[in-house]
Amino acid sequence: MKFSTLNPSTNQVIEEYSYYSLHDSKEKIFSINKGFVKWKKTNFSERSAIFYSVAQLLREKKEHFSRLMAIEMGKPLLQGIAEVEKCAATCEYYAKNAESFLQPQSIPTEAYYSGVVCNPLGTIFAIMPWNFPLWQVIRFLAPTLMAGNTAILKHAINVTGCALALEQCLYEAGLPEDVFAVVLCDHPTAESIIGMREIAAVSLTGSTRAGKRIGEIAGKHIKKCVLELGGSDAYIICADADIDYAVEQCVQSRLINTGQSCIAAKRFIVVPEIADTFTEKCTTLLSQKTYGNPLEGIYDCGPMARHDLRDELHTQVQQSVQQGAQCIIGGYIPENKGAFYPPTLLTEINENMPAYHEELFGPVATIIRAKDENHAIEIANSTSFGLGGGIFTEDRERGKYIAESLFQSGACFVNTFTKSDPRLPFGGIKESGYGRELSHFGIMEFVNSKTVWVQ
């Protein structure tokens, strides 16, 4: 069966591909699983040399990859280049640190020897989304392969060109072809792959709905999985915050990747003392933001990745307005072929609206008025999600306390917007998933921490 990729700016066909059959997918997995036997015996210096080469090639090809992302899912070019640079830095981070992260540990007991060694699990199946076509893959792949595992990637079909280009880049850097492979498969085939005994574990980045399904299948087969799912990140603006700076950071976070980021700022929660000023300044700044085809100019936003995603977002906006939300700017579908949606701001939000309790995966910001700071924290936590969030206050110690002790999320940033960093763990709680990526926490997800006791 064939499928096509579409340019979301023009709605024109980019390329046509064929799905792998279940048989062909399994043959590829058999090959990668055989490759694990050899790959796990390689030393860290061999693996590191390859990932240093991957980093170098990514930087050499960054304009190519940036353009490819712009064509396949609408990412603004400068953001695409930044994504490639981040991928390269992460490859270097694990090339440098993987060995020390996984060093055997001797733990004194009454035994002659007792300790822990970290062994790779086997072939890991990754199911990745379209919104950061390179970063989501490298974030998983660098620690997973550096730990001695092999991997299979099922990428989102609308970024198939990115998946295949990245695969080729890895091969050019010296990665053996039986260590990693892309499988072009549909959802039923992907679900069958999870159950194969050659698959040791699963990593999914995607929607909460997808996470529930993949978690169910992995659980049925008693397989470890890491789930990085959706988010509705709240940003609390305290009375003593630098309002201009807070507005700039909130708007920047909300519009990164045209708002299609799980850790984008989505709910701006303001206390009464600064609510009017924040709303006014936020409206002004959002009104200045531009959108358009990333190959035709420098814009703050490109198109959304697909028309159905744009239409779903617009429905959420319309339903919220029908239930009393005020649409200050944006909130309409432009008259052109692309999957564009303008930067949009909703106010007068209450808990009965989609804009309050659902993830708005696009360039739509919401302002929620709290009674006071404690109420703001309560609102921030009154969601099924728990990925990231932020607090803006001049009292850093107070902000630190709220972030550490009161904010329910996998990450909380004070006086800046939430971002991922290879040196720090990344992941969520509640319906934002479980498990961690990045840092030494990430590389430990797909190893067997084995106790060794010698009497």
Rounded CA-CA distance 169/231 in Å is 31
Q: Other CB atoms closer than 10 Å to residue 55's CB: what's the count?
A: 24
Angle between helices 62-73 and 44-60 (to 10 degrees): 70
Residue 397 three-state SS: helix
- Tell me which residue of 65, 89, 80, 206 sits closest to 142, measured CA to CA: 89
- Tell me which residue of 142, 147, 146, 151 sits closest to 120, measured CA to CA: 147
Q: Across the strands, what pairs with 5?
A: 15
The enclosing H or E element of 15 equals strand 12-18
272's tokens:
């009464």
Task: Render 305-371 in DSSP notation, one character per residue.
Answer: S-HHHHHHHHHHHHHHHHTT-EEEE--S--SSSS-----EEEES--TTSHHHHS---SSEEEEEE-S
Q: Catalytic residue positions?
A: 228, 262
Q: Which positions ≥6 away from 374 have C-beta within 8 Å?
A: none
Sheet hosting strand 113-120, strand order edge to edge:
105-106, 113-120, 447-454
Task: Render 19-66 in DSSP notation, one character per residue.
Answer: PPPHHHHHHHHHHHHHHHHHHTTS-HHHHHHHHHHHHHHHHHTHHHHH
- Tell me which residue of 27, 280, 340 sits closest to 178, measured CA to CA: 27
Residue 142 three-state SS: helix
282's tokens:
């936020």
Rounded CA-CA distance 410/363 in Å is 23
Q: Torsions phi, psi of 235, nearest 5?
A: -120, 115
Task: Confirm if 10 and 293 have CB atoms less than 8 A apart.
Answer: yes
Where residue 135 falls (left for φ over 0; alpha for ψ -120 to 50; beta otherwise) is: alpha
Task: Confirm if 387 and 417 have CB atoms less than 8 A apart.
Answer: no
